[in-house]
């Protein structure tokens, strides 16, 4: 799941949905902040999310769910 934060409700959405997705076993959760151009990646391990990293547009990371390297710049230019 990719959650795009909105300026007005971003913090509330992030907290509520984070807990909901964790509860229902979503294996990987991305939080995209378009204002700061940061993508947080969380992976479920033993029933709890572990932060895998925070990435900017110049970064890449490997998604455990997709099994591919993700170019973060493509997320923020789409």
| Cβ atoms of 29 and 18 closer than 8 Å | yes
Is a pLDDT exceeding 70 seen at residue 9? yes
Report whether pLDDT(12) > 70.
yes
| Domain architecture of the chain: domains with CATH | 2-77 (3.90.1570.10)
Cα 78 to Cα 73: distance, rounded to the nearest angstrom: 9
Q: Give me the pLDDT at residue 57, please.
A: 96
Structure confidence at residue 78 (pLDDT): 62
**The residue to which tokens 């029933």 are assigned:** 47
Could you give the C-alpha distances from 75 to 22, 56, 59, in angstroms and in order?
Answer: 23, 10, 11
Cα 16 → chain centroid:
14
Q: Is pLDDT at 20 greater than 90 in this prediction?
A: yes
- For residue range 28-56, list pLDDT tens digits in order: 999 999 999 999 999 999 999 999 999 99
Residue with tokens 């799941």: 1
């Amino acid at each position: 799941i990719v959650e795009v934060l909105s300026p007005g409700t971003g913090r509330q959405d992030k907290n509520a949905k984070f807990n909901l997705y964790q509860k229902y076993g979503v294996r990987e959760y991305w939080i995209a902040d378009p204002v700061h151009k940061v993508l947080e990646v969380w992976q479920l391990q033993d029933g709890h999310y572990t932060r895998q990293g925070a990435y900017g547009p110049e970064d890449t990371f490997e998604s455990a769910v997709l099994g591919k390297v993700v170019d973060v710049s493509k997320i923020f230019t789409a």
